Amino acid sequence: MNKTTAVSHALLETIQIEGRSVDVLRLDRHHGQAPGNKWFKLNHNLGDARQLSARTLASFGGAWSNHLHALAIIAAETGFASVGWVRADGLETAMLQDAQQAGMQLVFLSRSEYRRRHDPGFVAELLGDIDAPFYIPEGGGNLAGVQGCGDILKLLPNAGADYDEIMLACGTGTTLAGLVAAYQGRGCITGVPVLKAEKFMAAEVNKLLAQLPVSSCQWRLDHRFHCGGYAKLPDYLRCFIQQFESKQSIPLEPVYTAKVFYAAQQRIRAGEFAPEEKLLLIHTGGLQGRRGFPDLYPDLYSDLYNGG
Ligand SMILES: Cc1ncc(COP(=O)(O)O)c(C=O)c1O
C-alpha cells in the first residue's frame, strides 16, 4: 500500500491497496465534531423536529454509541436540547462525557429496560418526561435517516454513477438503504455488516427500501468480514489496522471502517475485481470511538478523532 494522493474533489482521495487504485470518500472529515454518516442520518430528522416545534431530540444508544455522540453535538449546534437513553454497562466512557459536555441529558436504563427500546408503549412512557420531544430510533435508523443518507452521493462527482462498486460498513443498514434508494449509477453498492447479521440485515434493509420509491440499484451484503462480531478485534484485524495506518494517511477504527478496508484488501487479493473496475470505499467516520481501544491507540487524546 502506498501513501494517499489527493485528487481534486474535497473529500475524495485515491489510495493504492495491493497495487490497485481505490477511491475513498472521507466522511470522517465531514461536519467537524459529528463526522461520518451521522449528519446525513440526522439532517432530515432535524427538519421534521422543527416542523413539529419540538425542542428536545431523544434517542437510544450504548455507552460507546457514535449515534448518541453525534446527536448531542448536532442538537447543541442546531439549538435543540437532547436526551440520551443509555444502556447502562457500568461504563463512564469518553463518548458519554463528550455527549454530556455538549449538553445531552443522559438517562441510564437497565439491560432489561433497554431491551424494550422497540416497544412503542415504553418509548411513549420515556418521552412523557421530556419537554416537547422528538424521538429518533437507535442508530438514527428511521425513514428520515435513510433519506438523509442518500445525500452522501451529492459529495461525489457525477453522484457516484461512474463507480462499478461502492463499499461501506453496515450496522443497522440505514446508510446502505439511503444510498441504494438514491443511487442512479451502474455500480453495485456492497454493504459490509460489522456484526453477524446473516439472518436479519437484508430483511431490515428491504423493509426500509419498501417505504421509498422503487430503486433499480444493485446492492448486496457481504457477510464475510464481520471479523467475529460487533466490536470484536481479532489479531488479524489488529495487524491490518496497524499496517494500514503505518502506510496510509487515513485513520481507521476497529468497529466499522477497518472492516470495510480489510474487506477491500482481501477481495482485491482474491482477484474479485476486474482490472478496469472502479471501486469506492466510504469512510463512515467513528474515529472518536478509537478511545475505546487504548491498547491499539495508546497515544490517543480526545482531540485526535477528527481526521488525524
Ligand atoms: C462509524 C460508523 N460507520 C458505519 C455505521 C453503520 O451505519 P448504519 O447503521 O447506517 O448501517 C455506523 C453506525 O451508525 C457508524 O457509527
Closest-lying ligand 1 atom to the alpha carbon of residue 169 = 4
> Is residue 179 located within the same domain as residue 30?
yes
174 within ligand 1 shell (Cβ under 6 A): yes
251 within ligand 1 shell (Cβ under 6 A): no
> Is residue 17 located within the same domain as residue 97?
no
The beta strand positions in 68-160, using DSSP E, are: 81-87, 105-109, 133-135
Q: Using one digit for the tens of pLDDT, what is the confidence trace for 153-203?
A: 999 999 999 999 999 999 999 999 999 999 999 999 999 999 999 999 999
Last residue of a domain, one of 140, 166, 187: 140
Residue ID of nearest Cα to ligand 1 atom 14: 139
> Is residue 55 located within the same domain as residue 191?
no
Assigned C-alpha cell, 308: 488525524
* Best CA proximity match to 207, nearest among 146, 135, 123: 146
List the domain range (segments joined by +) for residue 110.
38-140
How many structural domains comprise the chain? 2
CA of 171 to the centre of ligand 1 (A): 5
Assigned C-alpha cell, 73: 453535538
* Best CA proximity match to 144, nearest among 47, 34, 73: 47
Phi, psi of 81 (to 5 degrees): -80, 165
Average pLDDT value over all residues in the chain: 93
pLDDT at 301: 54
Query: What Å distances lie between residue 106 and 35, 56, 140, 233, 255, CA to CA?
Result: 21, 13, 17, 28, 23
**pTM (predicted TM-score):** 0.94
SS3 282: strand
pLDDT at 215: 85
285 within ligand 1 shell (Cβ under 6 A): yes
Q: Where are the alpha helices (DSSP H) in 129-270?
A: 143-150, 174-182, 201-209, 235-247, 257-269
193 within ligand 1 shell (Cβ under 6 A): no
Domain with residue 300: its CATH number is: 3.40.50.1100
The per-residue DSSP string of 178-195 comes to HHHHH--SSSEEEEEESS
Closest-lying ligand 1 atom to the alpha carbon of residue 41 = 10
